[in-house]
A and B are shown apart, each in its own frame.
Chain A
Amino acid sequence: MKWLKSNVFVPVLAFVFVMFFWATAFAASDEIRIGVIGPMKFIQGKSQWNGAVMAAEEINAKGGVKVGSKMMKIKLIQADSNEFLSITDATNAMERLITRDKVHFVVGGFRTEAVFAMQDIACQNKVIFIGCGAASDELCNRVAKYYDQYKYFFRGTPFNSTALVKAAFSHVGSTAEVLRNELGITGPIKVAFVAEKAQWADAMVPAVQATLPKMGMELVGVWRPSPVATDVSAELSAIQRSGAQIIFTFFSSSVGIPFARQANELKIPAMQVGINVEAQKAEFWQATRGQGNYVITSSTYARNVECNELTKPFVEAYIKRFGEVPTYTTGTYESIKMSLVDTIEMIGTLDPDKIVATLENRVYKTPPSTIMYVKDNLGRHTHDLKFGPGYATGIASQWQDGEFVGVWPNKWKPAPGVEVTFKGVKPIKIPPWMIKAYKK
């Protein structure tokens, strides 16, 4: 071990470090490095990566990105945030992307608590970060309140919690109408609200308590299971006792699977409608052993449902490439291709301030929606997505005998004189045990 103490070791080590960092810097100049950060061991992160890969492949196949007079290829750098388990890991991953990998842009993030921290790091370093998973309104409220600091953050997907709730209420309204028409239910539809105990769902409780009565429905109870609960038969017994006809769900974590499974196994005579992120995935059917039938969830994509002319080509290409229907976290695709690359080619520079100034004023189409970034009521940029017909509305899909089928918007009337139906949607199906219970 004498060599460790020799006069040669330290200079050699220093030389290796210098070569490493010089090589990194040298390689950097011909490519646009985009960090994709997310929980890569889980479907949410994998979808983020897949969306990014598809975008990068398409762009690079055409020769890359035209930045002024130069063509630059895209290089993706994957960072596993491990945010389901550790916020610290997420912040470390973001730091590494920016300081070691020297990325120009970052897309991804999933868990709201982690994305707040990642947002701070990206914005401190003036790196544009497009969030593709977290829904908290506050992420964009920060942009408005502290614009100079947080202007580098844009929401890619999904729309914010407030809009998610509005969309979910529309889904509940449509389902209630189907129940009234097909089962002959008169009087207020009884709704049980079940939301996982997590930050993003906390604001939903007062919203639901205020809104359902205005929609002519009765809230019969509120349940808050743990996001990782594996047995919810207790909650379901109580829900059944309440006589609920709709179970309004807000799940982003694993609790969505046992809830759907056990509700169907117990043949609870109620429709499950709302947000159940696990139900958006192809594995949901297997995970519930086929007991996830009739579950309705907000989603972004369903096969054959077209939000606009870009939707079907993207969905089919994604299915061909990855063998499954994309989930909403594949928003990294449009974030890279349409949000970033198109803007860069428009202005011919990678300067983040110039990109921000252009992007925040753009209105452009993406596979799931038309994106327009809204301002708040004080006229300040929020970099949040506009929700509503003609812009971002999302869809609702229902599991029907093993197929994840788009069921909303189907004759949705968001305003007097306005009716929206997306091409390819099908009617909502009611579970046969519910039909039997109500037609007795």
Chain B
Amino acid sequence: MSIKNREVIIMSIILDIIVMGLIKGSIYALLAISFSLIFGVARIVNIAHTAFYMVAAYCIYTVTNYMGWSAVPAMFVAVILSVILGMVIYKVFLNPIREHEGAVLIATMAIAMVFQEVMTLFFSGSFLSVPNLIDGYFIIFGVKVFYQQLLTLCAAALVMVILMIFLFKTKLGLALRSTAQDREVANLMGINESKVAMITMGIAIGLAGFAGAIVVPLEILEPHMWATPLVMMMAVVVLGGLGSLKGSFVGAYIMGFTEAMVVFLSPQGAFLKISVALLIMIIVLLIRPEGLFGVYFEEER
């Protein structure tokens, strides 16, 4: 093999890793940041978080396949419906038991299972898919990248920028961050902690629904599709530090790039990508138990 050919292959592998890592990382970031928001503000470990991601995906499938709508309005419908569903569930099931963390954990697990079984009831276990927003691909350094992948990446990046602006440049965002930092003091400063928790839940579910909406053309829909992202999302949150938005962001890309590197550098071991990513999380926790950007819980309180 000539040196030039080898260089082209290496470049294309690097580019593949970058593209795949960015896409995976962005999706994990959307899920992990929204999960961290709920945990930070409302102290809810929402196991059903990725189940909303699944619900949004199925909404899009239903709206595009049975109502004949195009994908973009279907995505809006899916996100809105997910948010409404999330807020109702929070108000009816979670808010009354919010102080009992164990009960909340179990309740959210039950909610996720209910969503799964409802999807199975309506759609059976069949594997379904949704059309791309944009078909086709472009070639860069010999690597074929789908336009849909690029669109997903850009949409995820845009939403994260908007979220960061919201959290750091608006009064409501300040209220959210304050409540996440210290609920009691935020209450004392006049912030309606309960209302903030409800708004946070809505935003977080909206983000999860949006993640489902933008990734669904790249995924296969089936009723258990929420389980793997849940594992990765929890790993990202733990790696980054529970409740830390910055940690979730960085952790997401570490996991995303780790997965991409395993797949491209070890094709026969591609099925181990999640195991390797989780191993990295364990190693980091052994060195720094509070996660990359977390704080010791004793210090926090």
Q: Which residues of A approach B to under 8 Å, CB–CB?
A: 39, 41-43, 46, 84-85, 196-197, 221-231, 233-235, 237-238, 240-241, 254, 257-258, 261-262, 265-266, 278, 283, 286-289
Contacts and interface: CB of A to CB of B under 8 A. Distances in A.
Interface of B: 9, 12-13, 16, 20, 120, 124-129, 131-132, 135-137, 142-144, 146, 149, 218-220, 222-225, 228, 260, 263-264, 267-271, 273-274
Contacts of A221: 267
B126 A42 contact: yes
B51 to A, nearest CB: 16
Identify the interface centre among A197, A225, A234, A257: most chain B CB within 10 Å of its CB. A234
Contact of B144 (A257, A261, A266, A288): A266
Nearest to A262: B146
Contacts of B127: 254, 257, 278, 283, 287
B267 A258 contact: no
A261 B146 CA distance: 12
B156 to A, nearest CB: 15
Contacts of A226: 270-271, 273-274
Given A254-B220, A287-B128, A234 B146 contact: no
Contacts of B270: 197, 223-226, 229, 234-235
B222 A254 contact: yes
A287 B219 CA distance: 11
Identify the interface centre among A230, A258, A286: most chain B CB within 10 Å of its CB. A230
B10 to A, nearest CB: 11
B129 A257 contact: yes
Contact of A42 (B12, B125, B129): B125
A230 B220 contact: yes
B144 A235 contact: no
7 contacts: A41-B125, A223-B268, A230-B220, A238-B267, A257-B127, A283-B126, A283-B128
B137 A84 contact: no
Contacts of B126: 42-43, 283, 287
Nearest to B260: A234
B121 to A, nearest CB: 9
A225 B264 CA distance: 11
Contacts of B146: 233, 262, 265-266
Nearest to B149: A233
Contacts of B218: 230-231
A257 B12 CA distance: 25
B271 A225 contact: yes
Contact of A85 (B149, B224, B225, B274): B224
A223 B135 contact: no
Given A222-B268, A230-B219, A265 B125 contact: no
B271 A237 contact: no
A237 B137 contact: no
Contact of A237 (B16, B120, B224, B273): B16
B220 A238 contact: no
Contact of B264 (A41, A227, A238): A238
Contact of A41 (B120, B136, B268): B120
A235 B263 contact: yes
Nearest to B137: A266
A39 to B, nearest CB: 7
Contact of B129 (A225, A241, A288): A288
Contact of A286 (B9, B128, B267, B268): B128
A227 B263 CA distance: 14
Contacts of B220: 230, 254, 257-258, 287
Nearest to B17: A234
B267 A237 contact: no
B143 A237 contact: yes
B129 A289 contact: yes
A214 B264 CA distance: 29
Nearest to B126: A283
A40 to B, nearest CB: 9
A241 B20 contact: no
Contacts of B222: 254
A261 B219 CA distance: 11
A42 B124 contact: yes
A237 B12 contact: yes
A389 B146 CA distance: 44
A84 B125 contact: yes
